[in-house]
């Protein structure tokens, strides 16, 4: 075979290997869209359940937790406002316990400071009573407070009555997200920022994710992008 033809075959072989290698590197078992606390928690949970799975998180911003995760009041909710036995109520109570446990295990600053809900007008008293009963229905350790008891906790409040919800807490969810990233990476996962997802399509049962930086392939795509 002429030397030029041999060289051409070698180049074609290498190009073929490079193509296959690119496909292999871009293929993941799970791709999670969104690098907020929901997306990162999802990636961590998937990794915990499927330790051998290849996991990729794609975030359009250059940093993580830039939107709702990093721009909220940082409350660990008790779930008192939700309808008893609803999924929201169940998930809020379970999430409250698991978040506090996670923070204690990983040394994340937080405070279970409790919350006071007050009635400042007579017309609000029946609503407060209803909320107190809802707290009992949720099996929360709620307590009724007289006005002077409320002022012992918060001297600037003037009210007719109050209830205390002790399981409510405060936290910085950016710090929680940073720990999630650390755990995802330590488990072999990848978190890639600055990668906006433009389009999804399915090819022969494979999910193809189109971004300005190329395509990624996944067995499963989990969309946690929120408002996009």
Work out the angle between the directed axes of helices 173-186 and 87-106 (0-180°, nearest 10).
Answer: 70
- pLDDT, tens digit (0-9, with 9 covering 90-100), for 193-224: 999 999 999 999 899 999 998 999 999 999 99
pLDDT of residue 7: 39
- Give the whole-angstrom CA distance, residue 210 versus residue 198: 6
CA angle centred on 42, ends 37 and 43, rounded to 5° = 100
CA 157 to chain centre: 34
pLDDT of residue 18: 42
- pLDDT, tens digit (0-9, with 9 covering 90-100), for 127-170: 999 999 999 999 999 999 999 999 999 999 999 999 999 999 99
pLDDT of residue 228: 62
By C-alpha distance, which of 184, 191, 190, 193 is closest to 211?
193
CB 134 within 8 Å of CB 80: yes
CB 127 within 8 Å of CB 149: no
Work out the angle between the directed axes of helices 173-186 and 37-49 (0-180°, nearest 10).
Answer: 30
Residue 166 tokens read as 């002790």
- Predicted TM-score (pTM) of the model is 0.82
Give every CB contact of residue 69 below 8 A, 6+ residues apart in sequence. Answer: 36, 37, 38, 173, 174, 177
Beta bridge partners of 206: 203
Exposure on the CB side of residue 54, measured as CA atoms within 13 A: 10
By C-alpha distance, which of 198, 191, 214 is closest to 62?
191
Confidence band of 102 (pLDDT split at 50, 70, 90): very high
CB 66 within 8 Å of CB 34: no
By C-alpha distance, which of 172, 65, 38 is closest to 108?
172
In whole angstroms, how far apart are CA 226 and each of 151, 187, 189? 39, 25, 21
């Amino acid at each position: 075979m002429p030397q030029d033809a041999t060289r051409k075959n070698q180049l074609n072989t290498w190009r073929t290997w490079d193509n296959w290698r690119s496909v292999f590197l871009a293929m993941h078992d799970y791709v999670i869209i969104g690098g907020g606390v929901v997306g990162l928690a999802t990636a961590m949970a998937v990794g915990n359940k499927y330790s051998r799975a290849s996991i990729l998180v794609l975030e359009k911003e250059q940093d993580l937790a830039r939107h709702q995760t990093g721009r909220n009041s940082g409350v660990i909710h008790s779930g008192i406002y939700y309808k008893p036995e609803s999924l929201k109520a169940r998930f809020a109570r379970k999430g409250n316990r698991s978040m506090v446990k996670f923070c204690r295990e990983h040394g994340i600053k937080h405070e279970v400071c409790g919350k006071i809900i007050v009635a400042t007008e007579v017309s609000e008293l029946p609503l407060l009573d209803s909320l107190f009963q809802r707290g009992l229905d949720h099996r929360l350790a709620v307590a009724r407070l007289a006005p002077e008891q409320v002022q012992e906790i918060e001297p600037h409040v003037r009210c007719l009555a109050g209830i205390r919800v002790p399981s409510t807490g405060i936290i910085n969810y950016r710090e929680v997200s940073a720990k999630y990233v650390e755990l995802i990476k330590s488990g072999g996962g990848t978190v890639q920022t600055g990668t906006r997802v433009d389009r999804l399509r399915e090819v022969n049962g494979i999910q193809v994710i189109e971004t300005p930086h190329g395509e990624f392939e996944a067995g499963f795509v989990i969309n946690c992008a929120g408002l996009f």
